Amino acid sequence: MGQNSDRRARILLINPNSNEATTTMMVAIARSAAADGFDVVGATATRAPTMIVSADALEVAALEVEEIARLRGGECDGVIVSAFGDPGLTGIKAAMKLTAVGIGESAMLEAAGTGRRFGVATTTPLLKANIDALPDTLGLRASYTGTRFADGDPQQLMRDSAQLRAALAGAVEACIVRDRAEAVIIGGGPLGEAARELQPMFAAPIIAPIPSAVRRIIRLVAA
């Protein structure tokens, strides 16, 4: 680190998906949301799938996320776990003296922060139970309207940004119209660019989880 970077707080963003391109995209989003005086560096898992779409993959990723945090956490002021199921976050908080947040918990806390009812729009139906469990953990069950899933195979959608955006827009609309959600979270780290593109398409707030996590980790580090 150079002289100037020594004066900057460093945030480690861990991508539990084993995809370097996704890490690059997520770090860019995080840096654009970070305040002056904060830098974001990325780390990528190597043992998980390129996109986590099942509970088993989430569990495998959790172990590696904790390993990465142990290996690299000492060089950073805070850690972001950048997959919506927050794999490994509980272990990091329990076992390590690290300030850490997950994009799932951060997005839900922000979405419900003014007493709003909120839903989740995402692409991974096999993670429904994991997503549904998170509001209970955070004490937000009364505010949670449920999760709607984009039509289409998650992997295929990720290969076509226009198709992904259209499919997610349909899920967002279902959250708002059918479930009466007052804010909708785009549930997934790899969906970061789509979340940004969807925000101007709806009057209701669309919550992008990576910026939510950046705002939260900065508050915690600054405190």
Residue 2, pLDDT > 70, answer: no
- pLDDT-derived band at 153 (thresholds 50, 70, 90) equals very high
Q: Note the pTM of the prediction, 2 decimals.
A: 0.92
In the chain the first and final C-alpha atoms are separated, in Å, by 24
pLDDT, tens digit, 9 for 90 and up, residues 19-66:
999 999 999 999 999 988 899 999 999 998 899 999 999 999 999 999
Q: Within 10 A of 25 (CB to CB), how many other CB atoms are there?
A: 18
72-81 mean pLDDT: 93
Q: Within 10 A of 113 (CB to CB), how many other CB atoms are there?
A: 13
Domains of the chain: 5-102+211-222 (3.40.50.12500), 105-209 (3.40.50.12500)
